[in-house]
Amino acid sequence: MVFNFQLGFNEVAVRAALEFSPQVRAIAMRQFAFALRAPDPELLDGGYREDLYTILREFRVRFPSTGPDYLAFNLLPEDAYQVASRAAPGFIVTIETARDGLASLTPPNEFRDDHTNLVRYFDGTLAAQRAVLEAATAQDFGGLRDGMGRTKGVFCETAEGLSDEIKPVVSVQFGAPPGSPGLAGICGPGP
């Protein structure tokens, strides 16, 4: 499981995923096929929209949309602590890199509020992943679950606060594949 998470940090794997043809992505990387599709031509403006899309696209390859599931496969707490302790540092670096890239951008006036919302997303996600790492180090199972829940909560809060104008630009991270239940399926109340 740790190696599976770490594949997302491997630069060769990330570059390969971004460069695969749409047909290969659809077959080999089904869960990423939507996120890794080529941007719509109107996003290729050579400015803020294109830069933001590129940052989020690369981030999405390395970081699951609502955060890593350190408890996948019903791990025993001791195993979950090991997985989170070994994988979380890579996720933290991924979040910091994307946040720094976002901070280097100057949004046009119409995207200023959305930009602020995205900065809060990265700051909140970073804090949640640091809390996960601290909980794993302290062998605090409740803290581990809480940190994972905070990551998902920050994602949902951000997604729900985005303007309609920015949604095509950020859909690579905050969108849902056609035919899926969309954000309601991710962020809505459980069954």
* pLDDT (0 to 100) of residue 175: 80
Q: How many domains does the chain have?
A: 1
Domain of residue 113, residue span: 2-187
Its pTM stands at 0.80
Cβ pair 169, 53 in contact under 8 A: yes
- In angstroms, the CA 120 to CA 60 distance is 17
- In angstroms, the CA 161 to CA 178 distance is 21
CA 46 to chain centre: 23
* pLDDT (0 to 100) of residue 191: 46
Q: Is 76 helix (H, G, I), strand (E, B) or coil?
A: coil
Q: What is the pLDDT of residues 86-106, one digit of tens each?
A: 889 999 999 999 999 999 999
Residue type, 2: V
Residue 34 or residue 114, greater confidence: 114
